[in-house]
Amino acid sequence: MNRDRLEQLLLIWDEDALDPAQRSELEDALADPAARRVLREHWSLSASIGTEFIRRAERFASQRIQSSHPHPQRRSWLRAVIATAAAAIVLALAAGLYVSSTPQNQTPQIPAAREPTALARLERSEGQVRIERGGQLSPASEGSGLYGDDVLDLAGTGLARVIWPDGTVIRLHGPGRMSLSRGTGIQLSLGHGRVDVEAAHQTVSAPLGITTPEAMVTVVGTRFTLTSEGGQTRLEVIEGSVSFQRHKGLQTAVTAGEWAIATHDQDPHARRERSGKVVMIGNAPPGPPGDAAIAAHIRRLGYAVVTIDADHGRPADLTGARFVYISNSSALPSLRQRFKDVRLPLVCSEPGAAPMYGLVAGEGDTGSSMAPAGVTMQLTPGNPLIAGQPVELTLLQGPARLGWFLNAPAGAVVASDQRDPSLARILAYEAGTSLANGQPAPARRVGLFLNAEAGLELTDAGWKVIEALVIWVDTPPAW
């Protein structure tokens, strides 16, 4: 196949518009290593063009905001004359000729910046807000441009709202001190104080970075609060994810709803305040001991677990729950009758209920079977739901019955049986995505192998995976 035809097919594939004959033609062509090289070059050029246009769009937006808030340095010849006069006054001041005659109550002016364009603009200021430029501290006025090496200095309960051309907004609360750096992307240094950040989407090559005396954070687009005081830096993430790193220490990812603290000698660890009610639908309390073990692990994560009997519970019992755990000790007919339409996040360990909740398409696609002690499970490599877990793990310390799922969409399979990978052990569906029955998932849904009796035989590694899933199911989607 000649290169033009190959490029043509790749362009059609880029639009997901290949017909079956074209798809087959492209597959045949890509059997040739030279054609695969063309594919890689093709994707590389497409990505490069796209990112270059993003860069241009950002530059254009930046120029627009600069022109709508002209800075003294962008002056006409007349302004240049005035500036020359100002420079003469500065020279006189340096020579000590002006100091003695300066009235005590005269407001010092902010020195002119060295750069032609501002990095950001002080949109709003309350209380005592000053700008330190060239070693001189002067009161800031709303609308002022902020330049590389400028320092915002806030006393008492002062507040400064700073806006960047890309829409990023940072509120600095007093007492606080924050400096702007020149460089790629938005680079700030928070000496002390608190900032609330609403980061617009940044480019990967130029992320937003904030350094404190103890740590640094790097983000591409998110909302968070960073506080530096008393020898520690605290990060609270409201939306998205932030990379948080102690100086010369380990990096960690802090996601929505989590917080972490870094000190000079302590790496940050992401933590989540978990609370609220989790409803376990199972057998009549006290239920089987396996259910009690499962409930104990959920409680250990910070939740209050309320167990209801499927035969007598009502949908209203689910009100206010963070998520619902359906045990296989629950009576299936009652589940079908009373809890068919669950809109909350859900973890289902009852194989018979899996089709009803759309975890699998048909009745024959799920079931449970006895598994020996030492049975192993393989986790889908790189799946973010179970980040940090080993790729393979031993599930049981003694024989027990385990649930399985067949024919689930590949993207939903989080873990499968080591010896028979066609048997999925864990399924997970993101809110809004298509379930196996084609319906959109009303909230996050997990299909779990955990038979109630297996709760007594599960290994520590197995429990860790289940705890990670519980945390995931109760976390708002990041996208």
- Choice from 118, 170, 217, 220 touching another protein (CB under 8 A): 220
* Interaction of residue 53 with another protein, rule CB under 8 A: yes
* Interaction of residue 442 with another protein, rule CB under 8 A: no
Q: Which residues pair with 465 in a beta bridge?
A: none
The piece of 30-38, 77-85, 132-140, 342-350 that touches another protein (CB under 8 A) is 30-38
Site string for another protein, 422-441 (x = CB under 8 A): --------x-xxx-------
Judged by beta carbon, residue 85 or residue 204, the one nearer another protein is 204
- Choice from 2, 4, 21, 96 touching another protein (CB under 8 A): 4
The residues in 357-386 that bind another protein, with binding defined as CB under 8 A, are 380-384
- Choice from 243, 334, 459, 475 touching another protein (CB under 8 A): 243
Least distance (Å) between residue 387 CB and another protein: 5
361 phi/psi in degrees, rounded to 5? -80, -40
What gap in Å lies between CA 144 and CA 193, rounded to an integer?
21
* Interaction of residue 15 with another protein, rule CB under 8 A: yes
Strand 208-211 versus strand 187-198 pairing type: parallel
* Interaction of residue 21 with another protein, rule CB under 8 A: no
* Interaction of residue 409 with another protein, rule CB under 8 A: yes
- Cβ(437)–Cβ(358) below 8 Å: yes
Total residue count of the chain as it appears in this document: 479
The piece of 1-9, 157-165, 229-237, 444-452 that touches another protein (CB under 8 A) is 1-9
Q: Which amino acid is at 391?
A: V
- Cβ(334)–Cβ(310) below 8 Å: yes
* Interaction of residue 275 with another protein, rule CB under 8 A: no
* Interaction of residue 119 with another protein, rule CB under 8 A: no
Least distance (Å) between residue 207 CB and another protein: 8
* Interaction of residue 239 with another protein, rule CB under 8 A: no
228: which residues sit within 8 A by CB, 6+ positions away? 190, 191, 192, 193, 194, 212, 213, 214
What gap in Å lies between CA 181 and CA 146, rounded to an integer?
10
* Interaction of residue 37 with another protein, rule CB under 8 A: yes
The piece of 21-29, 190-198, 308-316, 444-452 that touches another protein (CB under 8 A) is 21-29
Peptide bond into 175 cis (omega under 30): yes
Q: With contacts defined by CB under 8 A, how many residues of the chain interact with another protein?
A: 67
* Interaction of residue 44 with another protein, rule CB under 8 A: yes
Alpha-carbon separation of residue 16 from 6, 13, 26, 410 (angstroms): 15, 5, 13, 20
What gap in Å lies between CA 62 and CA 164, rounded to an integer?
8
Judged by beta carbon, residue 289 or residue 384, the one nearer another protein is 384
The piece of 106-114, 156-164, 201-209, 271-279 that touches another protein (CB under 8 A) is 201-209
Judged by beta carbon, residue 47 or residue 296, the one nearer another protein is 47
The residues in 123-162 that bind another protein, with binding defined as CB under 8 A, are none
* Interaction of residue 221 with another protein, rule CB under 8 A: yes
- Choice from 233, 252, 328, 349 touching another protein (CB under 8 A): 252
Least distance (Å) between residue 120 CB and another protein: 22
Judged by beta carbon, residue 251 or residue 334, the one nearer another protein is 251
Q: Using CB under 8 A as the criterion, which residues of the chain lie in contact with another protein when the complex forms?
A: 4, 7-8, 11-18, 23, 26-27, 30-31, 33, 36-37, 39-55, 57, 201, 203-204, 207, 220-221, 241, 243, 251-253, 255, 380-384, 387-388, 390-391, 409-411, 430, 432-434, 478-479
